[in-house]
Amino acid sequence: MRMFLLSSDEDTVTGMRLAGIEGMVVKSRDELLAEAERAEKDPDIGILLVTNTVGQLYADSIVEIKKKSKILVTQIPDMLDPSAAGDSITRYVRNAIGVNVD
């Protein structure tokens, strides 16, 4: 089972790639929906990570994705999120969903 990240920030995507998690930068609602659908169709992806920034920008779309998705969809902080200050995103993922990405 793999995780896939949707973020509005290239630095967050790059950092997660270094931890072994692929992802895409989304800059519009259409990109978000298309990438979420692509992740849903990939049989190897079991968890869709969405950064808080994307979650705030497209809250209604995230709710719809969560309702329709057969995979786990969860929000995590990104590099731009002040709530993540002083804590690593990988630690947050491990604590939130119990998966070690180190």
Break the chain into its structural domains and give their ranges: 2-97
Q: Which fold has domain 2-97?
A: Rossmann fold (3.40.50)
Per-residue pLDDT reduced to its tens digit, 19-49 = 899 999 999 999 999 999 999 999 999 999 9
Higher pLDDT, 20 or 95: 20
Q: How many CB atoms lie within 10 A of CB 8?
A: 23
Q: What is the pLDDT of residue 51?
A: 93
pLDDT mean across residues, the chain? 85
Per-residue pLDDT reduced to its tens digit, 45-68 = 999 999 999 999 999 999 999 999
pTM here is 0.79
